[in-house]
Structure 1
């Protein structure tokens, strides 16, 4: 199955977060790095609907999965 490409900023919009470049950078700096043993959707800064969206995107290999993986990798960097 081919997945549509979603820009990183669009994921932030989908999560109800500010999606401009400076806001995304600030979010990543504020919340990274996540502990290696913590799943992305388990991070304490997500509200329940955001966590559910992230979990479902990965679990169902939805069209958002690739950009959610990018977010996960970005939050693992120190």
Structure 2
């Protein structure tokens, strides 16, 4: 069906306007680890539009929520 999106980490990064190859995603996660007091939505590396997308999708518990949860977990791996 036209317009269908695969709700994957690669597509999330594309939605956020970021490079979305597997290597780019792994590099982003490695370079942007968050401390335990920083939430995904309050991370300094997002611009306003990216932050608004994350907050809205999480608040709606929308289809992106599971992928956002995965990203959140991966960005907190160092803790």
2:14 is matched with 13
Q: Which structure has the highest helix share of the two?
A: 1
Greater than 4 Å deviation, 4+ residue runs: none
Q: Is the 8 A contact 1:40 1:72 kept in 2?
A: yes
* Greater relative CO, 1 or 2 (CA 8 Å, sep 6+): 1
Query: What RMSD in Å do the two structures reach over aligned CA positions?
Result: 1.3
TM-score by length of 2: 0.87
Count of aligned residue pairs for this structure pair: 74
Q: Which runs of 5+ in 2 are unaligned?
A: none
Where structure 1 has 5 or more consecutive residues not aligned to the other structure, the ranges are none
